[in-house]
Amino acid sequence: MPKDASGVLSEIKRTFIQEKLKSGSREDGRKLDEMRKITIDENYVPRAQGSAFVQLGKTKVIVGIKIESGAPFPDTPNLGVMTTNVEMLPMAFPTFEPGPPNEDSIEIARVVDRGIRESKMIDLEKLCIEPGKKVMIVFIDIDVIDFDGNIIDACTMGVVKALSFARYKPDPEGDELPVPINNHPISVTMVKIGNEILCDPNLEEEQMSNARITVTMTEDGNIRAMQKGNIGSFTLSQINEAIQMSERVGNGIREQILGEVR
Amino acid sequence: MGTPSDKKLIDENGLRLDGRGPDELRPIRIRTDVLERADGSAMIEWGGNKIIVAVYGPREAYPKHTQDIERAVIKARYNMAAFSVDERKRPGPDRRSVEISKVISEALTAAVMVEQFPRTQIDVFIEVVQADAGTRIASLTAASVALANAGIPMKDFVVGCTAGKVEGKVVLDLSKEEDNFGQADLPMAVLQKSGEVVLIQMDGELSKEEFDSAVAMIMDATKRIHEIQRNALVEKYQNIEAGGEE
């Protein structure tokens, strides 16, 4: 990828990627259901209560988790609170601009949030200290520092890793406790190019596809969140293909990143 | 500054909480080329500080009214990650980071040959991943390495360091506790060769004599810090000579 990646893909490159896909392989040599190399450093920011530095191919994100006490939402007085925020930093890509999040980064944050929230990964009931008055608030903040496609999966795996190690103090004077965790959701994002579905798109693949789908699943094989993005469409059988791919690929990711935790 | 604590910041042997002597720096490490997309990048670890700097440009200045027909405009953006400090920081710029961005931009402008690139901007994006006192001068020190890494012509290197006063004694490179509970804080940055001061701020209370000794300590430290900057770049080019960047 040239350093002045402008979002425009040359016709030659586009044709090349399409031709390779016809023979079932990808421009960087991967199979359709193969992730790029995943490297995760846990506890990258010791000042945070949980953190991870994720490299998914050339995409790099830093996840930091802060856990502070605060008031619950009035309609869920017995539940702790979690929030997810993704900062697409201008350092990550030549055309990213500083300022309030745009619709892309809001969508990414919400898809990541939904996967973690809907799987009930964090046991929010256990984060209630005093019903209606005091609960723990889990702030999940993610810095995207280098962008080469598939932010959603990089963020989700970083959050899952960071939460698995995160600790909090319900009482400032008391002991540290591990964050109560029920399961480990993994998101797998796929794009459609031509009629092929491929997972973990790099930047060029993202640029030339017109439909994206993210399927987040837990280890029990249940689907916890889905999101289709971009202007293209999927057939029902392609959606099923995506779900199967998500389960297969997701199990591999879970094994790889959490092998030593579980 | 801050409230006095019951912790003793300097012990009877003159050693500080982290075991340093008065004119000792915390460990500093700088690496270049840490990011793929940026034209130049550097990461600095200075004590517990962890800061990533990316440089983009020179590129057309935008919005257009910010263009200068005589020189490039350096736009530094100092940003703290929400998880970089003890209490979560609300994302986005606050008054403090706007001010720091401004003084960093100005300090770097003094070093870069901005007159060679009229109508352009050079973006310097600074992300403080973990803060541990002295972030602005650590950012500036790393930013000048990132600019060199981007191949931008410069007259000189910018090197920064802080000194301050803790329990009545002048010490170099304040730690977080010393910054919070000390009596003065003096961040300063100079052009390495000429020794010209391109950033100086101070708060707290220093006598003239104390100020002089703080400045002398900083000037001496900048020589040591510059060696680290230089080595970070030399290391990169040695690697290339040895057959590739990886």
Q: What residues does each domain of chain B span? A: 28-245
Cα dihedral across residues B92, B97, B103, B108: positive or negative:
negative
Find the CB nearest B129 among A45, A66, A139. Answer: A45
Amino acid letter, residue B29:
R
Given this model, what pLDDT does residue A100 score? 85
Query: Which of A44, A139, A146 faces B35 most closely, judged by CB atoms?
Result: A146
Cβ burial of B6 (10 Å; 0-12, 13-18, 19+) is exposed
Contact A134, A81 (CB under 8 A): no
Does the beta-carbon distance from B54 to A65 stay under 8 Å? no
* Range of the structural domain that residue A207 is part of: 27-258
Q: How far is CA A137 from CA A181, B96, B209, in A?
A: 15, 26, 49
Judge whether B135 and B128 are in contact, CB under 8 Å: yes
Q: Look at residue A17 and tell me if it is in a domain.
A: no
Q: In which element (H, E) is residue B45 found?
A: strand B40-46
Cβ–Cβ below 8 Å for A92 and B37: yes
For residue A117, what pLDDT is reported?
Answer: 94
Would A14 be classed as within a structural domain?
no
pLDDT of A235 higher than 50: yes
CA distance B105 to A90: 16
Q: Is the residue at A19 inside a domain?
A: no
Is A60 in the B-facing interface, judged by CB distances under 8 Å?
A: yes
Residue of chain B whose alpha carbon sits nearest to that of A59? B36
CA nearest A199: which of A146, A249, A234?
Answer: A249
* DSSP string across A154-187: HHHHHHHHHHHH-EE-SSTTS--EEPPB----EE
Give the mutation candidate from B34, B37, B94, B132 for the A interface (greatest A CB count, under 10 A): B37
Given a cut of 70, is residue A210 above it in pLDDT?
A: yes
| pLDDT on residue A111 | 94
Question: Is residue A224 included in any domain, yes or no?
Answer: yes
pLDDT range class, residue A7, cuts 50, 70, 90? low
State the total domains in chain A: 1
CA dihedral A121, A126, A128, A130 (to 10 degrees): 180
The H or E element spanning position B73 is strand B73-80
Instruction: Output Rg (C-alpha) for chain A, integer angstroms.
Output: 19
Give all strands of the β-sheet with B73-80 in edge-to-edge order: B28-32, B40-46, B49-60, B120-130, B73-80
Question: Which residue of chain A comes nearest to B57, CA vs CA?
Answer: A94
Distance in angstroms between the alpha carbons of the first and the last residue of chain A: 37
Q: Is the dihedral of CA B86, B133, A158, A202 positive or negative?
A: positive
- Residues of chain B with C-beta less than 8 angstroms from the C-beta of A60: 35-36
Instruction: Categorize the per-residue pLDDT at A260 as very low, low, confident or very high, splitting at 50, 70 and 90.
Output: low
Write out the H or E segment, with its range, that includes residue A251.
Answer: helix A236-258
CB-CB contact of B43 with B50 (8 Å): yes
B-chain CB neighbours of A66 within 8 Å are: 82-83, 87-88
pLDDT per residue as tens digits for the range A26-84: 989 999 999 999 999 999 999 999 999 999 999 999 999 999 999 999 999 999 999 99
C-alpha gyration radius of chain B? 18
Rounded distance, CA B73 to CA B15, Å? 44
Which CATH number does the domain housing residue A82 bear? Answer: 3.30.230.70
**Within an 8 Å CB–CB cutoff, is residue B83 touching chain A?**
yes
Number of other residues whose CB lies within 10 A of the CB of residue A124: 21
Beta-carbon separation of A64 and B83 below 8 A: yes
Select the residue from A145, A151, A167, A169 to test the B interface by mutation, using most B Cβ atoms within 10 A.
A145
Please list the residues that pair with A68 across neighbouring strands.
A137
CB contact under 8 A, B83 and A141: yes
- Which helix H or strand E contains A241, and what residues bound it? helix A236-258
Whether A148 and B36 lie within 8 Å, measured CB to CB:
yes
Residue of A nearest to B85 (CA): A47
Q: Is the pLDDT confidence value at A224 over 60?
A: yes
- Checking if the pLDDT of A2 tops 50, the result is no
ipTM of the complex model: 0.80
Whole-number pLDDT of residue B2: 45
CB contact under 8 A, A146 and B50: no
Average pLDDT estimate for A101-127: 92
- Give the chain B residue whose CA is nearest to the CA of A1: B37
Element (H, E) at B60: strand B49-60
Contact of B97 with B79, CB cutoff 8 Å: yes
Q: Which amino acid is at A256?
A: Q
Ranges of chain B whose pLDDT falls below 50: 1-3, 245-246
The amino acid at residue A166 is A
The verdict on B246 touching A (C-beta cutoff 8 Å) is no
Contact A211, A228 (CB under 8 A): yes
How high does pLDDT run on average in chain A?
Answer: 92
> B30: which strand partners?
B44
Longest CA–CA span in chain B (Å) reads: 59
Listed residue (A156, A151, A144, A148) closest to A61, CA to CA: A144
The CATH number of B28-245, from 3.30.505.10, 3.40.50.300, 3.40.50.720, 3.30.230.70, is: 3.30.230.70
Distance CA A66, CA B189 (A): 33
Could you give the CA distance from residue B19 to residue B24 in angstroms, rounded to a whole number? 10
What mean pLDDT is predicted for residues A237-247? 95
Residue B246: its chain A contacts at CB < 8 A? none
Q: Is the peptide bond before B58 cis (omega within 30 degrees of 0)?
A: yes
Among candidate residues B232, B241, B245, B242, the one with its CA nearest the CA of residue B36: B245
Q: Does A65 touch chain B (CB under 8 A)?
A: yes
Count of beta carbons in the 10 Å neighbourhood of residue A114: 20
Q: Are A46 and B48 within 8 A, CB to CB? A: yes
